[in-house]
Structure 1
Amino acid sequence: MMPQLDFFALAMLEVVLAGALAGIVGVLVVLRERAFFTMSLTHATFPGAVAAAMLGGSVPIGAAVAAVALIAVAVGIGRIRSQGPAVASGVMLTAGFALGALLQSLAPLAIDVESFLVGQVLAVTGADVGLTAVLLVAAAAVWALAGRHLVFSSADEAGYRRAGMRPWIPETVSLALIAGTVVAIMPVVGAILGVALIVAPAAAARLVVRDWRWMLVLAPAIGITSGVVGLLASRWLDLAAGGAIALVAALLYGAAWLVGSARDRARPTAVRATIEARTP
């Protein structure tokens, strides 16, 4: 049973768990090049959250149902030869968000719909924290048990198939983890800003390290830092927490890009100096 925490301590625990979860799953998003799909999914869960609030039900469950339904639609569109995954993701993004806005206009909610869009981490509950913790454990277990399969199928799907394995299995697992993460972090950064916390830490980690194992260490660390620093900044500067967290994640990505660029520029010089030193 979770001890009684004040609202800020509970929010801090949630951003730590959400940052770690987003970082771990974000590595999968980056390796499988699913950033646009993730952005579409974050928008597409909005109508499910609105519908659940209208019916007095659980917002995470409503968002999860919408995510499953829209993933099925996207997979169907993606199988049309003249379309493809990019088209499917675009349809999800626009149609999902438009449906959420339509539902909200037809039956205005007593609660603040903006909280679905940019998050309201200071209002998280113990159930929100529990969901994030469960998904974090599940994501870590998937990487521990099937990490090599996920990386192999991400890097060379044709080779994975020729090796006698089924690419749809890691793809389904990946989509399920991404959808679950989008739903879990919605209270923290909302439906619009969720993609920043999922993609930016993992993309930043990839700029600094090359090995996916180290990405799994660095990306969650960046995600946690984004959450903690963003939440503290929102308290000290009286800012929206979701926006502050997303902005910190973007700034850390920029810092990683500078570090990676400096390293890449220095590498040819170091190699040239080594060659010259060995040349008689």
Structure 2
Amino acid sequence: MLDLPALDFPALDFFGLAMLEVVLAGALAGLVGVLVVLRERAFFTMSLTHATFPGAVAAAILGVSIPLGAAVAAVALIAVAVGIGRIRSQGPAVASGIMLTAGFALGAFLQSVAPLAIDVESFLVGQVLAVTGADLALTAAVLAVALAVWALAGRHLIFSSVDEAGYRRAGLAPWLPETLALATIAGTVVAIMPVVGAILGVALIVAPAAAARLLVRDWRWMLVLAPAIGIASGVLGLWASRWLDLAAGGAIALVAALAYGLAWLVHALRARPAVGDAVPAAVRIPAGHATIETRSP
């Protein structure tokens, strides 16, 4: 694990530790997921979750910290993505696609040339019932950082998300909030890997925040509702895995997806125009210096 002091909970068994971890991870994923949704970085996040896989495999082969290996891979891949994205004829979508395919392929290649004694599937879908105090410490630390990022730079992140041109005209540099956002997303991907793995992590990050955006208008309320949905997804998914003897990571991701489906249904019913209404009302999300506005379907 990373060089963080391991949290010690002698009164908790393995399931209690797992439950505490999913609560921390759900709160973290929901909080950072708001950033992902508002900045439209869902595809980048999916690419990053896959691209950290080779870092985890390489760390296991070398016998060093798996989260550290994933973090190093994340930093390297963010640099590559930023470099490709700055090429006019390419763009961020191309960079994310290259990261997704090349990263996952590299992880599979490393695993085939140097078979591991541990189960590689745990990297892909998580193994939350095997979390340790060090995993809890890492998730708690990244959660504290995410809270600090929103508290200190939240308005800059929102302003640059909804009106980058206006942010530039204000004399501010958009690459600063962009770099901060990417670093926070990368840290979250690494921290929740023990819970939902490299593949399913995007579900826990994106689905609660996307559900919150359908249900509330103000981004500040999204920061409250998305972590709550993330925690509920983690807790319900973990209990479902125990009751139904399912893989915990898959159950958590499925509950998160179902939460989004339920939010979409509520949004659709609430947005249905009454008899005689000609045009549905616009849904507005105040965002400090700017306003996000979408048209109800």
In the alignment, is residue 44 of structure 1 matched against residue 48 of structure 2? no
- With normalisation by structure 1, the TM-score equals 0.95
Deviation, 1:45, is: 0.1
Deviation, 1:2, is: 2.8
Deviation, 1:154, is: 0.1
Indicate which of 231, 239, 251 corresponds to 1:244: 251
Question: Which residue of the partner structure matches residue 183 of structure 1?
Answer: 190
Indicate which of 222, 242, 247 corresponds to 1:215: 222
Conserved 8 A contact 2:34-2:223: yes
Deviation, 1:3, is: 2.5
Question: Which residue of the partner structure matches residue 145 of structure 2?
Answer: 138
2-side partners of 1:66 and 1:139: how far apart? 20
Conserved 8 A contact 2:28-2:142: yes
1-side partners of 2:222 and 2:9: how far apart? 32
RMSD (Å), alpha carbons: 1.1
Secondary structure of the structure 2 residue equivalent to 1:3: coil
Conserved 8 A contact 2:9-2:133: no
Specify the code of the residue in structure 2 equivalent to 1:237: L
Q: Quick one: structure 1 residues 238 and 166, their matched pair in 2 at CA, closer, same or farther if it must change by over 3 Å?
A: same
Question: Which residue of the partner structure matches residue 231 of structure 1?
Answer: 238
1-side partners of 2:231 and 2:242: how far apart? 17
- Kindly provide the CA deviation profile for residues 206-234 of structure 1, in whole angstroms up to 9, marking residues without a partner as x: 00011100000000000000000000000
Size of the aligned set, in residue pairs, is: 271
Secondary structure of the structure 2 residue equivalent to 1:223: helix
Question: Which residue of the partner structure matches residue 165 of structure 1?
Answer: 172
Specify the code of the residue in structure 2 equivalent to 1:3: F
- With normalisation by structure 2, the TM-score equals 0.90
2-side partners of 1:223 and 1:78: how far apart? 30
Deviation, 1:269, is: 4.9
The percent of aligned pairs where both chains have the same amino acid is 84
* Greater per-residue strand proportion: 2
* Greater per-residue helix proportion: 1
Within a 5 Å distance, the mapping from 1:87-126 to structure 2 comes to: 87-126=94-133
- Kindly provide the CA deviation profile for residues 108-149 of structure 1, in whole angstroms up to 9, marking residues without a partner as x: 000000000000000111011111001111111111111111
1-side partners of 2:267 and 2:112: how far apart? 46
Deviation, 1:151, is: 0.5
1-side partners of 2:222 and 2:103: how far apart? 31
In the alignment, is residue 3 of structure 1 matched against residue 9 of structure 2? yes
Question: Which residue of the partner structure matches residue 31 of structure 1?
Answer: 38
